[in-house]
Amino acid sequence: MNSANTSKKTTPWHAMLLNGIYKYGVFVVIFFAFATRLPQLLSENLFLDGDECIVGLMAKHFAEGKAIPWFFYGQSYGFSMVEVFSIRLFYAVFGVNDIAVKLAMLTLWIVGVLFFHKTLKHFETERNKWAPLLITLAFVCMPSLAIWSMKARGGYLTAFLLTSIVIYIISTKPLTKHPFLALLVGLMIVFIYQSQPLWLAGLLPIIGYFTFINVRLKTVALQLLGILMGVMFFSVIKSGLSQFCSPSVVSFTNFNAETLRSIPSFVFGHLTGSYIYSQLIPSAISTRLAAFFYTVLLFATFLVLGARWFKKSSIHPLSFILALSVIANLGYLMLLGEGNYRYLLPLSGYIFLMFFFVYGRSMHQRWVNLTTCLLIVIGSIALYYFKNVSDVAQSSILAMKETLYAEKVHYVFCQSGLIQWQLDFYSNEEIIARYNTRVDRYPEYIQRVNKAFFDPNTDTGVIGHADSELADESEEVITIDYNYFLYKNPSRSILEKRGFEF
């Protein structure tokens, strides 16, 4: 007998590797999501901004049993309990620090990405079985999500997570028949609205589509019941909440041709992920390249869909529904005007869902997959350089903390509304700082600093940007990191002159 005929054929190593990657795609996504954020996590520039410090303090107060902070302090919007609870769990392992906050947020984001991946897998075709994994990895590498995938900002990651779960449930037919899940979908819609309603602009067309194609009165009734339960729940927990911050964001005066023309540049700015509020910050070439490519591809996709519609080509109807979701996200820019770039955070998820149905299921699988792999490489390089993004005041804030410790000043009047929270958090509340208004997000800090000020046996101080005016008032001004000052035991007249209210 010929031994060549009896020996088993061996599978090439590269084929085994590819089969393993495909089979264990979930673990590949988890590994990739964590690995691409590792440079930021290990960077010396890792530092929480003022708003993140508020969420970190909320989790600390929750762990200490001081409060149940359902919403971002000082607001009746921005449902934050999911983030607070997650951070509290990580505090138990890592202690109260910025790494715990970042890892907690990254965990929430990764769970949302896994549901995103599961949704794509549900629509996987034999034509291109690699599309769900590759498009998910490209989504993970979006520069727009580099920082915000780990940012605790009162509801943003909660909205992303719940939106991913809702889309997965309503798009998976066996799950839509389950009464509990139908009720849960309705409940989560309200939670998304209370967390960050911007996600609903893109979600509602998707819900409407699946409700239309899977018409079941029982399911719709249960979803409506879930919505009613959610509304009742929030009406109870919102009673008596502080209204310290209640900005007016939407304005119909922004609905004009100039705002419309600015949308492409605004989209590009958002997709770089390199911004602070409404101000762009310098970014790596790879970041700008990825953002430029996605901006062009986004608007080109609308032309592709239009051409396919005109030629009556075969295309999944969800392609058009998701295009409507993207347009809805772009559309509210007409009402927000020159808002913060973060207002477009829901956009990336809907873009990649649209890309999957437009390109991931097409006949040109080789070109689609090669292009997606190229985007993964460019995105990975871009994410690496986000380790260089830093808070310009980081060294000054840490220097402030050490100076206050050295001067034995633990109660300070702070002239910066954001640095106030960073001092509170990074000192683990050994330093208590208050801002100049008599009412703030967390009134206890104002009360404690005021009490210390009127106690003759307790040292207090005022901190702010260095200026010659105060330096002329006293020789006791201590300069901190060349940019800030500390003036110990200021008089009430000096504090009031500098805008502090009692």
pLDDT of residue 470: 59
Determine the average pLDDT of the residues in 357-377. Answer: 88
Residues of the chain with pLDDT > 90, as a percent, come to 68
pLDDT of residue 6: 45
Domain map of the chain by residue range? Answer: 24-388, 394-497
Residue 1: pLDDT band (50, 70, 90) is very low
Q: How far apart are CA 459 and CA 450, in angstroms?
A: 12
Q: How far apart are CA 13 and CA 437, in angstroms?
A: 66
pLDDT of residue 340: 83
| Residue that wins the pLDDT comparison between 312 and 371 | 371
pLDDT of residue 7: 47
pLDDT of residue 132: 94
Residue 309: pLDDT band (50, 70, 90) is confident
Whose tokens are 């009430």? That residue is 492
pLDDT of residue 127: 79
Joined tokens for residue 493: 């007249």
Amino acid identity of 225? L
Cβ atoms of 151 and 341 closer than 8 Å: no
| Per-residue pLDDT reduced to its tens digit, 148-204 | 999 999 899 999 999 999 999 999 988 888 999 999 999 999 999 999 999 999 999
Q: How far apart are CA 436 and CA 422, in angstroms?
A: 16
Count Cα atoms within 13 angstroms, Cβ side, for 380.
Answer: 14
Model-level pTM greater than 0.75? yes
pLDDT beyond 90 at 51: yes
pLDDT of residue 468: 52
pLDDT of residue 311: 83
Q: How far apart are CA 501 and CA 499, in angstroms?
A: 6
Torsion of CA 137, 141, 146, 151, to 10 degrees: -10
Amino acid identity of 152? A
Cβ atoms of 176 and 216 closer than 8 Å: yes
Cβ atoms of 39 and 413 closer than 8 Å: no
